[in-house]
Amino acid sequence: MEAQEDLQVDLKPETLLEMYWLMVLSRRLDERTWVLHRQGKIAFHISSIGHEAAQVGAAMALRRGQDWVVPYYRDLAMMLALGFTPKEFMLGVMGKKGEPNSGARQMPSHWSIRRLNIVSHSSVVATQAPHASGIALAIKMRGDDAVVLTSIGEGSTAQGEWYEAVNWAAIHRLPVVFMVENNLYAISVRQERQMAVEQVADKAAGLGLPGVTVDGLDAPVVHRAITEAVSRARSGGGPTIVETMVHRMTPHSSDDDDRSYRTREELEALKAQDPLHLQRDKLMDMGVLSQDAEREVQERAKREVEEAVDFATRAPYPEVSEASYPVYAEDRIDD
Amino acid sequence: MEAQEDLQVDLKPETLLEMYWLMVLSRRLDERTWVLHRQGKIAFHISSIGHEAAQVGAAMALRRGQDWVVPYYRDLAMMLALGFTPKEFMLGVMGKKGEPNSGARQMPSHWSIRRLNIVSHSSVVATQAPHASGIALAIKMRGDDAVVLTSIGEGSTAQGEWYEAVNWAAIHRLPVVFMVENNLYAISVRQERQMAVEQVADKAAGLGLPGVTVDGLDAPVVHRAITEAVSRARSGGGPTIVETMVHRMTPHSSDDDDRSYRTREELEALKAQDPLHLQRDKLMDMGVLSQDAEREVQERAKREVEEAVDFATRAPYPEVSEASYPVYAEDRIDD
Amino acid sequence: MTEMTLIEGLRQAMDEELERDERVFIVGQDVGPRGGVFRATQGLYEKYGEDRVVDSPLAELSIIGIGIGTALYGMRPICEIQFADFIYPAFNQIVSEAARMCYRSGGEWIAPMVIRVPYGGGIGGGLYHSQSIEAFFAHVPGLKVVVPSTPYDAKGLLKSAVRDPNPVIFLEPKKGYRLIRGEVPEDEEVLVPIGPGRISREGTDLTLFAYGMMHHYAMEAAERVAQEGIDVEVVDLRTLKPVDRETVLASVAKTGKALIVHEDNLTGGYGAEIAAILAEEAFADLDAPVRRLAGPDVPAMPFSHPLQDWFMLDADKIADAIRELAAY
Amino acid sequence: MTEMTLIEGLRQAMDEELERDERVFIVGQDVGPRGGVFRATQGLYEKYGEDRVVDSPLAELSIIGIGIGTALYGMRPICEIQFADFIYPAFNQIVSEAARMCYRSGGEWIAPMVIRVPYGGGIGGGLYHSQSIEAFFAHVPGLKVVVPSTPYDAKGLLKSAVRDPNPVIFLEPKKGYRLIRGEVPEDEEVLVPIGPGRISREGTDLTLFAYGMMHHYAMEAAERVAQEGIDVEVVDLRTLKPVDRETVLASVAKTGKALIVHEDNLTGGYGAEIAAILAEEAFADLDAPVRRLAGPDVPAMPFSHPLQDWFMLDADKIADAIRELAAY
Ligand SMILES: Cc1ncc(C[n+]2csc(CCOP(=O)(O)OP(=O)(O)O)c2C)c(N)n1
Ligand SMILES: Cc1ncc(C[n+]2csc(CCOP(=O)(O)OP(=O)(O)O)c2C)c(N)n1
Ligand SMILES: [Mg+2]
Ligand SMILES: [Mg+2]
């Protein structure tokens, strides 16, 4: 991991506060969704709790809406940081009409937001990585100056799909950043069973591109690493692997029960290093966040989340007819 | 590449002569097959000319018939070194009855020789690599002391199949050697378009196993590198990537014409470094090979090759009924 | 006899086969301490250890490719693909390699292995946790394709699959894992041969061909219309490849009408092959057009409940199709 | 009008589309200086440069996955898979991604791309350079599957495929690349719509459905039996997905008999779908059982000539099947 000097100084207080706000918003939304699940009101949730700092730090290193993002399911905080709204998220969670990711066709947390250049992905892990390299190839072909950020879990880097995608980007020096959110687990399977290297970033050496590992619990640290990778990409320097070490503080998803494969002690130790608390404490130490401001942030988040839940609860389900299209591009309504 | 001291001294003169004999036999057989193709007598040939030293050096580092081999199509010299015969080869080239690789079902040079633990492979490049790791896993599970050697071209290491196979072997420290025959070309596509690293062996660092690059024109050098890798594998030390730098001195196959993508000068320069001549000259300098012995080797090779051609020419084609089985294991004749 | 669920039948089959033959082992994602995401392998890691119940990397082609390698060496792998929807990365290894190994080597090399695959929808899984994949594999010579619909068959067919010398795609109707219950004898070995279909309900008016979860609904629908005086014969195909042509043809020779039901998309689905067999060989027997009732031709099952219900077949939809065909 | 070969038609189509639309580019193995292993892209690298004719790494899934990415950005990739037999590593990207992109995003994202695939046997290619793969892809909603059998259609359909907003699997009968010749106008733009089949020979006694190389042999066989007084209608399906049901049904309504011919394995092959459509919708029209003439159910085409001939269909075998069906 990179030496972590005091990086907070690089960023303006407003930026630090914005980061913190997004982390809080994501966390409250995420927790509320777990509650809905426990109440039997929704069928499924997959959580970004413990990954927020990395995701917000990364998203804020992009030109939002101009750069391209090819995310994976665990990226709720990243999506919010890019401009996706809690209401939109809740529509998806509840499978309601007009849910912008897929018109309620896909499971929740399968992102796709055209207006933000956030590309649709499937559940099949690692399939998104070649798309990211392809978008980057097109950007290079067209001479545009956009950059692509794609994210993935550490386990999924065992897929040949990821290898081939990174290989293309390295050969053609494409403007893409391969962000890895390493939480040491792929459902129940630990990193040692996924790879024989210490860090995912070590794979970079075998593919011919730079790779770094950074503390993913610290948003400004991630922000700096991604900013560097993005500016290398934008200036023709080619792709980078940026591995962020994060904590999966929940079971894999609402379908999982992690008691069979990790101890409660291990989990408690992770929770003791909650990125949200770390960030809050740092900002307070720096004098950037006051007690009042903190209270306000929390209240605002709570309010926005409740509004989203209400909004989505009242929203109608899709018409049944929507299920039948668009199979082909010519079936699109606005065609 | 490894520093190349005088490695010849490691090996007994008989061994060096055996190596040379196998290289000559393979070359004469290979050349004769090209002639058959030019005469319109056969449909297809894919050549190992320029790869012989690497293949013979590798094969002779194994316990023949005890260790396992998962080869690829360019491995004629390796097959001969393992005990496959010119007659068997010619039967395959001509698609004749009883051809041992596949009963004339597969194209020539698609090896499979049960008695020698040489495993059947397809034409789909890199598919064999996971099989090699699987065999090695089974060896480890059973507590046997066999080792697996699998070979592949440098271009084919761009496949996710290869990555996933090596990854398994590295994670589980399996007794397998991944030999790469790097001739810089995949049909017409040069290495720079296949990978962003200098050497295939550099990929080892990203996968967590040792990797070396050696001069594949020098059989004893390859022999030593493979011997080291095999003994590491056999003693529980895990897998190794051994990259051998070789020359593809012919077009990709008899279907190819390489004039569109490489200059005649480039080809002539390769041919000037013919592994056969290099080996011959070295052995003569060492006093291991006399002029008489050289003549005898050449004549014997010629004789064996002509016998093989005659034998296969006279051999019948398969019965048509053979095409219909064995689709399932229970359809096998001897079941 | 004990009553058990489908998944219990599967788990018992694996347990018994691991016990019986030390060449048998399990490999897949989360099959170890987690016991599988559906808990099919629960307890087996604890009982047989990490060499026999192996957590693979998150890389499907390697699960199959490694499995093939071990099979070549004489092992009997049971490879688990976590969801049918995730089998495509391994398509090359299954179709190019496992399926063609015996033929391409003239029988010198074989790849006996079981590929266990939870499949099918109706569980809120959306596009990528609901798919049916049988049509792809039932087209591939060299593969066997098996789908149980009862705990008895689940156990008996899985044990046969483990002992089969060929690669067997073993499709498990995951919606039925805990929903479908049935009697399974405890004191004798349960082995169901791969190949034969099963007439699960005798009838005279029309034949309903189904498998997996759809067989469960088909039986429900058949009972329902029986009260209306329609006497349906239900055939549980069980083995899709090679299919039991005799049972298929004999039943239609008796009833004169055929309804084929599957969840997978209609076009080019498995029902096409049954319809084609009938169109070729039951011409003189058919009193009505063959009818296929299948998933609609959209890319996959949508998530939102009303949309999923639109896609998914159930006893109601099947009963309607029966009534329509019976009235022809 | 000029006479040209099938592959010349394809090359002209690509040349014209590269010229017409700067978003179009070619990507695949050896498509650059080598001009493709079959020479389909010969001269295009020299004319359009390495940014528009891109030699890919030896990694099929990346050819498709990268292609999808460029299409999402607005490009119009033509992806070449060197042989149909090598498409399986990319199966996941094609089926899970390209085919489902439009539907899964509610139409927000589309993946317009052409996947060019030389397919079919009879060229001494053995198990892995002879395969037919249409059945797999014709089963997948969201894909279009096209197979030309004449130089005119090759050119016109490929140009339409490049302009189509969907992923199109474009299957090229490679045995016919230089064997099949035909007239193609030089002075006008040739565009053949994706969708409609083509009645390539009118007849009254039975309908023969074919595509690709088999269509070529079908025409030969039809001429041959015409001299014996059997009047065959030949339908060149051309687009396999979505299939032209009207043409299929109208022809059988006229002739009352149907023979479907393809090289691919019989079971679960594309012919099953045509047979099923007829069994469902032409019940009243059929005067004889539907007949499928297809490759045998062995894993793939063997290499040795006598064995290959056993597998491969030709005009003789088709003529025999015609005679048999006509005599019913
Ligand atoms: C190809 C494929 N195989 C299996 C799965 C099932 N699955 C979903 S997420 C997951 C684990 C992913 O782990 P990782 O990549 O580390 O990401 P994380 O969830 O930890 O963020 C698995 C096995 C899948 N979605 N796709
Ligand atoms: C999956 C797959 N794609 C394409 C091909 C066609 N093909 C056969 S050999 C070859 C080049 C292989 O190059 P390399 O791996 O460097 O081995 P070499 O032939 O140079 O020894 C190609 C593209 C194939 N056989 N399999
Ligand atoms: Mg993880
Ligand atoms: Mg090479």
Residue B162's CATH number: 3.40.50.970
Question: Which ligand approaches the C-alpha of residue B125 most closely?
Answer: 2
Interface membership of A48 toward C (CB under 8 Å)? no
Q: Which of B122, B156, B194 sits opposite D128 (nearest CB)?
A: B122
pLDDT for the residue B333 = 73
Q: Is the CB of A154 under 6 A from ligand 1?
A: yes
pLDDT, tens digit, 9 for 90 and up, residues C283-292: 999 999 999 9
Contact C203, C255 (CB under 8 A): yes
| pLDDT 10s digits, A191-245 | 999 999 999 999 999 999 999 999 999 999 999 999 999 999 999 999 999 999 9
Please report the pLDDT score of residue C298 as a whole number: 98
User: C129, C215, C216, C262: which one is catalytic?
Assistant: C129
Judge: C105–B331 Cβ closer than 8 Å, yes or no: no
Predicted pLDDT at D24:
98
- Band (pLDDT 50/70/90 cuts) for residue A333 is confident
Q: ipTM of this predicted complex?
A: 0.98
Q: Is the predicted pLDDT of residue A316 greater than 60, yes or no? A: yes
pLDDT in the model for residue A324? 97
pLDDT number for residue B334: 61
| Secondary structure (3-state) at C132 | coil
How do strand B189-190 and strand B185-186 relate by DSSP bridges? Answer: antiparallel
3-class DSSP state of B154:
coil
Task: Please tell me the predicted confidence (pLDDT) of residue B46.
Answer: 98
Q: Does residue A328 lie within any of the structural domains?
A: no
For residue A333, being part of any structural domain is answered with: no
Strand C113-119 relative to strand C53-55, pairing: unpaired
Is pLDDT of A2 > 60? no
Question: Which residues contact ligand 2 via a Cβ below 6 A?
Answer: B 74, 123-125, 153-156, 181, 183, 185-187, 248, 252; D 29, 58, 60, 82, 86, 89
The dihedral built from the CA positions of residue C29, C31, C36 and C41, taken in this order, carries a sign that is positive
Q: Which phi and psi angles does D89 have, rounded to 5°? A: -60, -25
Match 């992109």 to its residue by tokens: D101
In a domain, B226, yes or no: yes
Q: Which residue from C minimizes the CA distance to B141?
A: C51
Q: Pick from D41, D58, D213: which is nearest to D123 by CA?
A: D213
Distance between CA atoms of D158 and D193, rounded to whole angstroms?
10
> What is the nearest CA distance from D35 to chain A, expressed in angstroms?
21
For the packed helices B219-234 and B13-38, what is the interaxial angle rounded to 10 degrees?
A: 110
Which ligand does the CA of C56 lie closest to? Answer: 1
Across the interface, which of C92, C128, C291 has its CB nearest the CB of D280? C291
Helix C60-72 to helix B128-142 angle, to the nearest 10 degrees?
60
**Chain D residues within 8 A of C269 when measuring between CB atoms:** 139
Do the Cβ atoms of D124 and B193 come within 8 Å? no
In chain D, the domains with their CATH numbers are 2-184 (3.40.50.970), 198-326 (3.40.50.920)
Counting from 1 in the atom list of ligand 2, the atom nearest the Cα of D82 is 4
Across residues C182-205, what is the average pLDDT?
A: 96
CA distance to partner chain D, nearest, from residue C316 (Å): 21
A151-180: per-residue pLDDT in tens?
A: 999 999 999 999 999 999 999 999 999 999
What is the percentage of chain A residues whose pLDDT exceeds 70?
97
User: Does residue B275 lie within any of the structural domains?
Assistant: yes
pLDDT bin (cut points 50, 70, 90) of residue A334 is low
User: Which of C33, C57, C305 is opposite residue A95, by nearest beta carbon?
Assistant: C305
D128 chain-B contacts, CB cut-off 8 A: 106-107, 122-124
Per the prediction, chain A carries an average pLDDT of: 96
Kindly report the backbone phi and psi dihedral angles of residue B119, in degrees, each rounded to the nearest multiple of 5, phi listed first. -90, 140
Average pLDDT over residues D203-230: 98
Q: Whose CA is nearest to atom 20 of ligand 2?
A: B186
Residue A324 belongs to some domain of the structure: no
Contact C25, C58 (CB under 8 A): no
The chain D residue lying nearest B193, using CA atoms, is D57
- Across the interface, whether the CB atoms of C141 and B160 are under 8 A apart is answered no
Is C299 within 8 Å of chain D by CB? Answer: yes
Q: Do D177 and D6 touch, CB atoms closer than 8 A?
A: yes
Report how far residue B174's alpha carbon sits from residue B130's, in angstroms, rounded to the nearest whole number.
12
Residues contacting residue B3 through CB under 8 Å, at least 6 positions apart: none
The tens digit of pLDDT for each residue in B53-101 reads 999 999 999 999 999 999 999 999 999 999 999 999 999 999 999 999 9
Task: Enumerate the residues of chain B whose CB falls inside 8 A of the CB of residue C72.
Answer: 119, 131, 134-135, 138
With a cut of 70, which residues of chain B have pLDDT below it?
Answer: 1-9, 334-335
- Is B137's Cβ below 8 Å from some Cβ in C? yes
Angstroms from D237 CA to nearest CA on chain B? 29
The helix/strand count (H/E) of chain C reads as: 12, 14
Q: Which residues, 6+ apart, have CB-to-CB distance to B281 below 8 Å?
A: none
State yes or no: pLDDT of A335 exceeds 90.
Answer: no
C99 touches D at CB < 8 Å: yes
SS (H, E, C) chain A: CCCCCCCHHHCCHHHHHHHHHHHHHHHHHHHHHHHHHHCCCCCCCCCCCCCHHHHHHHHCCCCCCCCEEECCCCCHHHHHHHCCCHHHHHHHHHCCCCCCCCCCCCCCCCCCEHHHCECCCCCCCCCHHHHHHHHHHHHHHHCCCCCEEEEEECHHHHCHHHHHHHHHHHHHCCCEEEEEEECCEECCEEHHHCCCCCCHHHHHHHHCCCEEEEECCCHHHHHHHHHHHHHHHHCCCCCEEEEEECCCCCCCCCCCCHHHCCCHHHHHHHHHCCHHHHHHHHHHHHCCCCHHHHHHHHHHHHHHHHHHHHHHHHCCCCCHHHHHCCCCHHHCCCC
pLDDT level of residue A123 (50, 70, 90 thresholds): very high
Phi, psi for C267 (deg, rounded to 5): -65, 125
- Does the beta carbon of B256 lie under 8 angstroms from any beta carbon of chain D? yes
Gap from CA of A222 to ligand 3 centroid (Å): 17
What confidence category does residue C50 fall into, taking pLDDT thresholds of 50, 70 and 90?
Answer: very high
Question: Any idea which ligand is nearest the CA of A156?
Answer: 1
**Nearest chain C CA: its distance from B102 CA (Å):** 4
Is B328 a domain residue?
no
Note which residues in 141-160 of chain B have CB less than 8 A from chain C. 141-142, 160
- Residue A85: what pLDDT? 98
* Residue C1 confidence (pLDDT): 83
Q: How far apart are the two ends of chain C, measured CA to CA in Å?
A: 42
Residue nearest to atom 12 of ligand 1 (CA): A186
B194 in contact with A, Cβ within 8 Å: yes
Identify the closest residue of chain D to C127 by CA–CA distance.
D104
C276:D279 CB<8 A = yes
Tokens 């391994």 map to which residue? C90
Verify whether ligand 1 is closer than 6 Å to residue A215 (CB atom). no
CA–CA distance from D23 to each of B103, C26, D26, D61, D268 (Å)?
Answer: 48, 48, 10, 21, 38
Residues of A whose CB is below 8 A from C62: 158
Which structural domain range is residue B66 located in? 8-251+260-316
- C57 to chain B: which residues are within 8 Å by CB? 164, 167-168, 171
- Picking from A14, A62, A59, A25, the residue whose alpha carbon sits closest to that of residue A219 is A59
Copy the structure tokens of residue C137.
Answer: 């594999």
Model confidence band, residue D284 (pLDDT cutoffs 50, 70, 90): very high
Give me the amino acid identity at A280.
R
Which subunits have 3 or more CB–CB pairs within 8 Å of chain D? A, B, C
Distance, in angstroms, between C103 CA and closest chain B CA?
A: 5
Give the Å distances, CA to CA, from D111 to A116, D70, D274.
18, 9, 28
**Based on the structure, what is the number of domains in chain B?**
1
Average pLDDT over residues D30-50: 98
Give the catalytic positions of B in this structure. Answer: 248, 252, 261
B253 and chain D in contact, CB less than 8 A:
no
Check pLDDT > 70 for residue C188. yes
**What's the mean pLDDT when you consider all of chain D?**
98
- The answer to whether D252 touches D278, Cβ cutoff 8 Å, is yes
The answer to whether residue B30 is domain-embedded is yes
**Ligand minimally distant from the alpha carbon of residue B48:** 2
Residue B330 lies in a domain: no
Residue D250, both tokens: 């109208």
pLDDT higher than threshold 90 for residue D301: yes
To the nearest whole percent, how much of chain C has pLDDT over 90? Answer: 99
Nearest CA in chain D to B324: D298
Residue of D187 and B62 predicted with greater confidence: B62
Give which of A155, A25, A154, A120 is closest to A78, Cα–Cα: A25
A115 vs D: CB within 8 A: no
